[in-house]
Structure 1
Amino acid sequence: MKLHVIHYNDLHSHFDMWPRYMSFMKEHRTYDSLVFDLGDHADRVAPATEATQGKINTHLLNELSPTAVTIGNNEGITFPHDWLAELYSDATFPVLVSNLSAPFAKAGMIQELPTGKVGIFGLTAPYYELYELLGWSIENPFEAAAREIEALRDQVDVLICLSHLGFYQDEDLAERFPELDLIIGSHTHHVLDDGVVRNGVLIAQAGKHGQYAGEIYLNTDTGEKEAVLHPLESYPEDEATAVLLDKEQYLAERQMKQPIGRTSGLANDWFNPSPFTQLLADTMRDWCQADLACVPAGMLLGSLSPGPVSSYDLHRLCPHPINPCKVTMTGKELKQFIAEVDTNRFEQLKVRGLGFRGKLMGKMHYAGNRQHLDDAKHYTVVLPDMFTFGPLFPEIKEMPKEYFMPELLRDLLFDRLSEKSEFGELPIRKH
């Protein structure tokens, strides 16, 4: 059996590259090609994704007409439950996620081609605590994979896993399950120019943000497996796609630019005390009912001008899919944390990933009393959730914590600024 696959991953709503991808598709796709999107197509960093609750992404995928897609963590844990539940309601393609219990999530499928049968199933990264908080049930992906392989392997000529687990987890999949022929991956944004073979299983991944489209050729008769990446920057834009995209983005942004309130202006400076960041810190503390809130000025990308405020303004200045998280730590641990972040090194720290869409951390701002801390006493501290995932502060990852979801940091600002024209008391929302 000969098989031709086209794949694409981690667009993250970088829509400027989508017309080029559609141009590539029209040139390379044949009647029996399999086409897959590997998740994180949608990202709330884009105003159009925010305004349409991701429906613009589904509309674009409908135009692509993929064989199947899976979801990434950006769809899964940055979208509120009702957004995700409705995201694919008008999709014309199957959404394969074998380790998530959701109305749209389908188990493995068999695609019949003139030359044979292909089994396909999808897996997404299991952020257990976050999925549970959002009202979804997520399963260990390796257990789901074992179940799908047992169900599909004997019925098909080729078995494919669509993975949003990341390259290193894909390597583990290949080592555990040599019954797989192909793992098409995503999540870690690896650029695998020729693919990687582990335990006889080909692993492919195509970068991020529309850098590349991937092609895979399999021949089960000869055992040949070939993967190649095509840089998309050299492809012209598909005109019809560009027109559709411009229209959808214009309508979405116009909706977001409706005023929600007014301010006399809120300045922000990444390296000096700033009223805008201080407002965010105060709001986080009130919202989560904590002893202390800490947020760096780099979380806000600029200042808020005097006059009307819109959700478009707040999205532009705070685009991150980051939630507040309340952490319990001792006074001694809190002192150590403050000593670490009140440094030039932290202020200049450039971060990629973890939901952060800014440039650097900037000066830490606090709400609450951080003086005269008792080493043995326990304090509740509200932080951006990116601080709790491990890479920045490994010790915080193990501390007791409570995530506040689905509200993002900009949602707290929206609530604060939409109720009064100047600083005011924030009604504390019970969670």
Structure 2
Amino acid sequence: MLREKIKNWKMGLAAVLVFVLVLGMMGMSGSVKAADQTDSKMIDIMFVHDTHSHLNSFSTVVDEKQEMIGGFARIKTLIDEQKEKNPDTLVVDGGDFSMGTLVQTVFETQAAEIRMLGALGCEATTLGNHEFDYRSKGLAKMLETAAESGDTVPELLVCNINWDAMEQQGLSEGQQQIRDAFTEYGTKDYVMVQKGDVRVALLGVFGKDALACAPTCELQFTDPVEAVKKTVAEIKKNEDADIIVCLSHSGTSEDESKSEDEILAKKVPDLDVIISGHTHTKLEEPIVHGDTYIVSAGEYGKYLGSLSLEQKDDGRWSMKEYQLTPIETDIAEDAATQEEINSFMATVDTDYLAQFGFTREQVLAENDVAFDSLEDLYNIHTEHNLGDLIADAYAYAVTNSTDYNGTPVDVAIAPSGTIRDTYTKGNITVEDVFNSFSLGIGADGVPGYPLIEAYLTGKELKTVAEIDASVSDLMTSARLYMYGLQFTYNPHRMILNRVTDVYLLDADGNRRELEDDKMYRVVADLYSGQMLSAVTKTSYGLLSVVPKKADGTPIENFEDVILTDNGGELKAWTAIAHYMESFPDENGDGIADIPQYYAGLHERKVVDDSSDLIKLIKNPNKYAVMIAGIVLIAILLVVLLIRLVLKLVKYRTGKSL
């Protein structure tokens, strides 16, 4: 009995010892894991790009639904929440922080956009093409204002400005203004920042397409890839960097061979992360090439991007988490941030809108029409009611201006690339209209691109239709919405020969034949005129038009053909505003109503999706004939080559016999 008790006691003691030993081993295992985690360096990064002056939340159409999205005050809330978890979180921006809302009108005097990036805790940004919209003087003045504000502002990083080439040629006045402003602001190729135990190298680069989209930029740039290679080599030689992050205003494309930031990742594999701006891309998952991650969060601050990285044994980094957080109304606004934004907005009425007789919240029209979304204008190649309204507004404003010269507007053109937002149902305010066309500055130095006039022949108007039909699938910002022109195109036809019919449309909707040699008056905005060369380049010069003055001489400077009203420039956005004010008040409440005419389409751009052989080959233009001729010659050469080979074989066979 006693022996049995002793045996049981020993067994119990052994069990207890085993249990304690197991617990100890588990604790040791946990300690090892914790040590491993401690030994591995980690970094959290949050980012935005292409915010385009969208400091406030705004109403827009997303997937055919009206939503209130964005806003720096909400973004600040998320950044603060993240920094409570990790105070060493890095916050950066990918450029194009300006040009998109009324706050841009105080770009030079307030530098609101870059100062508000600083208020978010953003540590670095780069230049986008739209930072040049107010020309060299405007960009320089903005940077000087920011530097003198006393606010904490982000580092401005650009590694591929070719100052050597510009200095050899002699700096222009504008180049010198920017150089002086860069010096005052402290612009650099790259900068080192410490985030906990991680040394971060940040550099910025300005892409090729960004430069092509900046017609008023006076700076010269070196090849982006070569500049980044050189800068990364300098970082690796002189700095003890754990991670290299590139702020690139270059963008990505569905065509990988033309996707600038993918090319950059492949050719500069030492980059760990590329924050990819410019193309307004929303990447649900990073694009990965080797050990390089490319990330994008869309435009206008609709999303806040965040990623967490862990360093691997080889020194490179692995993605542990990646997220795009939609900035929606369920996120609380940071009160101090919103108050600062409000103070900037208060200057807009007095400093800008008063000269046009408008106020920011003034209601121009009531709207019950479902206008297409901005994404539809780019992605769906057809007629859109939003484009129709804006083109109609141009024609109306010119015809009803005090400086109208009596010559009717035959055609008005509004490219998708100039339309920056849509209109939602409800009240449409002055701010809404400005935001829908918020680009640029006029020759008068006043924000807002003006309208211009040009004369094109009937033959050139047919080419304009072909630009939309053929080029805009390669360059979606060149999708054209027109007043006064109707055309039909077939997407299955040979490129450069997709348009089958083109007509003029009069104010009553009646069709008229175009006369090839007759000149027609065309109205567009200044930016579209300046960007015409980019469209020509995309078609390799095959589709080109020569805008002319009324006397037939080619236009050399589009600022010479700016249209005026009351002696001042007729701005594109005020043309839209006055057009809306002109609509009838249908319900008698003293406010104009958007006509139901715009609830439908009017066959201005007709898509013939037929695969019928006759329709595919009818009405060939010179390019189709030329290509067909080349193909025919190639076929004949192949036939002749085959015959020659057969004769040679027959000759050798006969000779051997």
Q: Compute the TM-score of the two structures, normalised by the length of structure 2.
A: 0.49
Q: Distance in 1 between matches of 2:155 and 2:72?
A: 20
Note the C-alpha offset of 1:364. Answer: 3.9
Q: Does 1:205 align with 2:296?
A: yes
TM alignment of 1:380-391, pairs within 5 A = 384=525, 385-386=527-528, 388=532, 389-390=534-535
Question: Residue 129 and residue 23 in structure 1: after superposition, are their counterparts in 2 closer, same or farther (change >3 A)?
Answer: closer
SS in 2 for 1:6: strand
Select which of 335, 345, 364 maps to 1:239: 335
Alignment correspondent of 1:86: 141
Note the C-alpha offset of 1:294. Answer: 5.3
Preserved CA contact (<8 Å) 2:51 2:98: yes
Alignment correspondent of 2:158: 97
Q: Does 1:415 align with 2:568?
A: yes
Alignment correspondent of 2:311: 220
Alignment correspondent of 1:427: none
Select which of 11, 24, 29 maps to 2:51: 11
Q: Distance in 2 between matches of 1:411 and 1:51?
A: 23
Q: Distance in 1 between matches of 2:223 and 2:450?
A: 24
SS in 1 for 2:285: coil
Q: Distance in 1 between matches of 2:284 and 2:304?
A: 11
Alignment correspondent of 2:23: none
Alignment correspondent of 1:421: none
Note the C-alpha offset of 1:121. Answer: 0.6
Question: Residue 32 and residue 412 in structure 1: after superposition, are their counterparts in 2 closer, same or farther (change >3 A)?
Answer: farther
Larger helix proportion, structure 1 or 2?
2
SS in 2 for 1:208: coil
Question: Residue 51 and residue 119 in structure 1: after superposition, are their counterparts in 2 closer, same or farther (change >3 A)?
Answer: closer
TM alignment of 1:29-428, pairs within 5 A = 29=83, 30-43=86-99, 45-53=100-108, 55-76=111-132, 78-89=133-144, 90-91=146-147, 92-100=153-161, 101=163, 102-103=178-179, 104=182, 105-126=187-208, 127-128=210-211, 133-154=216-237, 155=239, 156-167=241-252, 168-222=259-313, 223-226=317-320, 227-233=322-328, 234-259=330-355, 274-278=395-399, 295-296=412-413, 315=434, 318-321=437-440, 333-337=459-463, 354=477, 361-364=481-484, 374=517, 384=525, 385-386=527-528, 388=532, 389-390=534-535, 394=539, 415-416=568-569
Preserved CA contact (<8 Å) 1:10 1:187: yes
Q: 1:110 corresponds to which letter in structure 2?
A: M
Q: 1:163 corresponds to which letter in structure 2?
A: S
Q: Decide which moves more: 238-247 or 253-262.
A: 253-262
Question: Residue 259 and residue 229 in structure 1: after superposition, are their counterparts in 2 closer, same or farther (change >3 A)?
Answer: closer
SS in 1 for 2:568: helix
Question: Residue 397 and residue 60 in structure 1: after superposition, are their counterparts in 2 closer, same or farther (change >3 A)?
Answer: farther
Question: Residue 123 and residue 406 in structure 1: after superposition, are their counterparts in 2 closer, same or farther (change >3 A)?
Answer: farther
Question: Residue 364 and residue 332 in structure 1: after superposition, are their counterparts in 2 closer, same or farther (change >3 A)?
Answer: closer
SS in 2 for 1:390: helix
Note the C-alpha offset of 1:46. Answer: 1.3
Note the C-alpha offset of 1:116. Answer: 3.5
Q: Distance in 2 between matches of 1:300 and 1:221?
A: 45
Question: Residue 361 and residue 210 in structure 1: after superposition, are their counterparts in 2 closer, same or farther (change >3 A)?
Answer: same
Q: Distance in 1 between matches of 2:390 and 2:54?
A: 27
Preserved CA contact (<8 Å) 2:450 2:569: no
1:367-400: per-residue Cα shift (whole Å, max 9, x none)?
Answer: xxx986549xx99987544472439994687667
SS in 2 for 1:138: coil
Q: Distance in 2 between matches of 1:82 and 1:28?
A: 38
Question: Residue 270 and residue 332 in structure 1: after superposition, are their counterparts in 2 closer, same or farther (change >3 A)?
Answer: closer
Q: Decide which moves more: 181-190 or 92-101.
A: 92-101
Q: Pairwise CA RMSD of aligned residues? A: 4.6
Q: Decide which moves more: 248-257 or 408-417.
A: 408-417
Number of residue pairs aligned between Structure 1 and Structure 2: 381
Q: Distance in 1 between matches of 2:393 and 2:344?
A: 39
Note the C-alpha offset of 1:254. Answer: 2.7
Task: State the structure with bigger RCO (CA 8 A, min sep 6), 1 or 2.
Answer: 1
Note the C-alpha offset of 1:52. Answer: 3.7
- Percent identity between the two aligned chains: 21
Preserved CA contact (<8 Å) 1:297 1:362: yes
Q: 1:51 corresponds to which letter in structure 2?
A: V
Q: Distance in 2 between matches of 1:269 and 1:34?
A: 41
Question: Residue 409 and residue 56 in structure 1: after superposition, are their counterparts in 2 closer, same or farther (change >3 A)?
Answer: farther
Preserved CA contact (<8 Å) 2:44 2:89: yes
Note the C-alpha offset of 1:315. Answer: 4.7
Task: Select the structure of larger CA radius of gyration.
Answer: 2
Question: Residue 50 and residue 270 in structure 1: after superposition, are their counterparts in 2 closer, same or farther (change >3 A)?
Answer: same
1:212-269: per-residue Cα shift (whole Å, max 9, x none)?
Answer: 111122222354223222222142111111122122112222322323589xxxxx88
Note the C-alpha offset of 1:171. Answer: 0.8
Alignment correspondent of 2:367: none
Alignment correspondent of 1:23: 77
- Could you tell me which runs of 5 or more consecutive residues in structure 1 were left unpaired when the two chains were aligned: 263-267, 287-291, 302-310, 419-431
Q: Compute the TM-score of the two structures, normalised by the length of structure 1.
A: 0.72
Q: Decide which moves more: 249-258 or 315-324.
A: 315-324
Q: Decide which moves more: 392-401 or 236-245.
A: 392-401
Q: Distance in 1 between matches of 2:114 and 2:53?
A: 11
Note the C-alpha offset of 1:270. Answer: 5.2
SS in 1 for 2:269: coil
Note the C-alpha offset of 1:293. Answer: 9.2
Preserved CA contact (<8 Å) 2:413 2:523: no
SS in 2 for 1:361: strand
Q: Distance in 1 between matches of 2:264 and 2:538?
A: 29
SS in 2 for 1:183: strand
1:103-154: per-residue Cα shift (whole Å, max 9, x none)?
Answer: 3242112223441322111012335467575422222211211111111124
Preserved CA contact (<8 Å) 1:194 1:229: no
Q: Distance in 2 between matches of 1:136 and 1:25?
A: 34
- Could you tell me which runs of 5 or more consecutive residues in structure 2 were left unpaired when the two chains were aligned: 1-40, 58-70, 148-152, 164-177, 253-258, 359-388, 421-429, 441-448, 486-503, 505-512, 548-554, 572-657
